Amino acid sequence: MLRLVDINTYYGPSHVLQDLSLEVEKGEIVCLLGANAAGKTTTMKTIFGLVRPNSGSILFEDKPVEKKATGEIVQSGLALVPESRRIFPRMSVKENLEMGAYIRSNRKEIDADLDHVCQIFPRLRERLKQYAGTMSGGEQQMLAMGRAIMSRPKMICMDEPSMGLSPKLVETVFDTILRIRDEGMTIFLVEQNASMALSLADRGYVLQTGKIVLSDSAKNLLTNDLVRQAYLGG
Ligand code: ATP
């Protein structure tokens, strides 16, 4: 469904992504693991046209998207849950969710999806009128996921959804990711929390200083020596 082929991305002279290739098939949960500064967020930004690769191609449903504007990429069915959520703090929860549907116009369908998101996240229904910026980190993460679902994507990319959350909330967020997948969503997940990510992913890639150094089933990665030493605490 999503394929990155030989991507090279620079920030000025700094060669951040080096010949990066990966793919996500329909219905899969695929995770990209890596330490601080490995290039995980840059990978996400490159997929969404927020940073342009110097070379390489990005195919979504077999169509090249690496030269498309971010809005067009979202229109084609990819949604991003960005790092640190990036919700709109001075807007209500409902307004934030509606912003997720900005590319759509059928009011009836938008209302039905709003209701669906509130079924997945009952906490959001209780807080629809509240300013989003006054919610807890976990609630804001749910809102960011709900906002992505509101664009009716075919695939969701999530940048470190567990960041800054308590272990209990991390579990809630990861349970929700499984639920969304069971409803038919394809998910690409970037995470530092390797044990949680591998516990729910089908496959994973390991990124070290901009290069993919390992790619395997999540089950095999959990027992891989390099992964255990570098990401699972030995
Ligand atoms: P983290 O988990 O800490 O967010 P990451 O794996 O997401 O790390 P990136 O944010 O992709 O890493 O950063 C990869 C490298 O690129 C880092 O060395 C970072 O300092 C550098 N970098 C990121 N953004 C920029 C930028 N806008 N300009 C210059 N260098 C940048």
Give me the pLDDT at residue 36, please.
Answer: 86
Question: Which residue has the least CA distance to atom 19 on ligand 1?
Answer: 37
- What percent of the chain lies above the pLDDT cut of 90? 65
Q: Which domains does the chain have, with CATH numbers?
A: 1-77+155-233 (3.40.50.300), 82-152 (no CATH)
Q: Note the pLDDT tens digit of each residue in 137-165.
A: 888 988 999 999 998 899 999 999 888 88
- Out of 5-19, 112-126, 161-175, 217-231, pick the least confident: 161-175
Provide the ipTM: 0.93
C-beta separation of 192 from 160 below 8 A: yes
Q: Note the pLDDT tens digit of each residue in 87-121.
A: 899 999 999 999 888 777 788 888 998 998 998 88
Q: Whole-angstrom Cα distance, residue 189 to residue 197?
A: 8
Ligand 1 nearest atom to the CA of residue 41, by list position: 7
How many angstroms does the Cα of residue 9 sit away from the middle of ligand 1?
A: 11
Res 52 pLDDT > 70: yes
pLDDT, mean over the chain: 92
Top pLDDT among 109 and 48 is at 48
Give me the pLDDT at residue 234, please.
Answer: 60
Question: Which residue has the least CA distance to atom 1 on ligand 1?
Answer: 36
Ligand 1 nearest atom to the CA of residue 159, by list position: 7
Residue among 10, 16, 83, 190 to mutate when testing ligand 1 (max atoms within 8 A of CB): 16
Q: How confident is the model at residue 22 (pLDDT cuts 50, 70, 90)?
A: very high
Query: For residues 121-150, b (16+ Cβ closer than 10 Å) or e, as one string?
Result: bebbeebeeeebeebeebbbbbbbbbbbbb
What mean pLDDT comes out for the span 29-42?
93
Top pLDDT among 213 and 196 is at 213
